[in-house]
Amino acid sequence: MFTVLEFHNISSRGICWTNMPAKRFADVLDLLQAETHIVAPTDLEHYLNSQDDSERPHVMLSFDDGYEEIYTTAYPMMRERGLAGMVSTVAGYVGKRNLWDIMGGGLDHLGWHQLEELLAAGWSICSHTMTHPDLKRCTDDRLAWELEQSKQILEKRLGLEVPAVAYPFGRFNSRVLRAAQKTGYRIGFTVGAEVWKGVRGPLTTIRVPVYQIDSDPLIRAKVAPDGFLKRLDAFKNRFFNRLSLLTSFAHRHRFKGIPQQF
């Protein structure tokens, strides 16, 4: 079984459930290394397009929103263990404060030089749009701009192909899928333990969130094929995802139309 795990900020700052203290993150890494096979993000497409029948779970580590603590805290810990991850990058906020987030605002995003160092160390980058909106609620023009502009900026500045996009808040529909495919994305990441209306494929790849409150048994359940704890974890993740829509609501009122400051 292959699972993409989703972390956010590796930090003790703030009280948001997405902030994971460094000590707990180290414990999670040790658990995963002991009980799973952690794959390199550069092998993502191989695992998405192949059938994994091994008994030992295969996992990839991803980091949402691209906060600076990924570089200052998570990166050294993963480098010591010979691991690499994928960063979902909000292209319009590289090197800037996360003013788009009302629940975790005040955090700095990774800068270009930090992203370049991560790439040189075997990490990968995916687009997280330009401004992190709810793509389902964007006009057609805004949707195209969010997907196309972010891909172009990341590819031009970092000198590589960006084949994947992480839908903000994990929210998408058939219109978003068509736009992502038209833009040239081969992989799209959503959030949760369900597939949207039975649609399976690389453009609806599920990431399973990992929060600071998750116990070791829940971590194991996230990478298991099925079970009561896995279903309980999915219910909890849906609840937290609904809370994140507060940021989506505020974002719609802050940015109307295509933002001109980016």
Which residue type occupies 189? F
Of 86, 115, 243, 244, the closest CA to residue 169 belongs to 244
Tens digits of per-residue pLDDT, 9-33?
898 665 566 789 999 999 999 999 9
| Dihedral-angle region of residue 169 (phi above 0 means left; psi in -120 to 50 means alpha; beta otherwise) | left
Q: Reduce the DSSP state of residue 169 to 3 states and report it.
A: helix
Token pair for residue 218?
């829940």
pLDDT digits (tens, 9 = 90+) for 93-122: 999 988 777 665 678 999 999 999 999 999
Lowest mean pLDDT among 40-54, 131-145, 148-162: 40-54
Q: Which of 33-42, 53-62, 72-81 has the lowest mean pLDDT?
A: 53-62
Sign of CA dihedral 76, 12, 170, 222: positive
Query: What is the helix (H) or strand (E) element at residue 232, kind and residue range?
Result: helix 228-254
Q: The tokens 């992203």 sit on which residue?
A: 115
pTM of the model: 0.90
pLDDT surpasses 90 at 86: yes
Q: Which fold has domain 2-254?
A: TIM Barrel (3.20.20)
Each domain of the chain, given as residue ranges in start order, spans 2-254
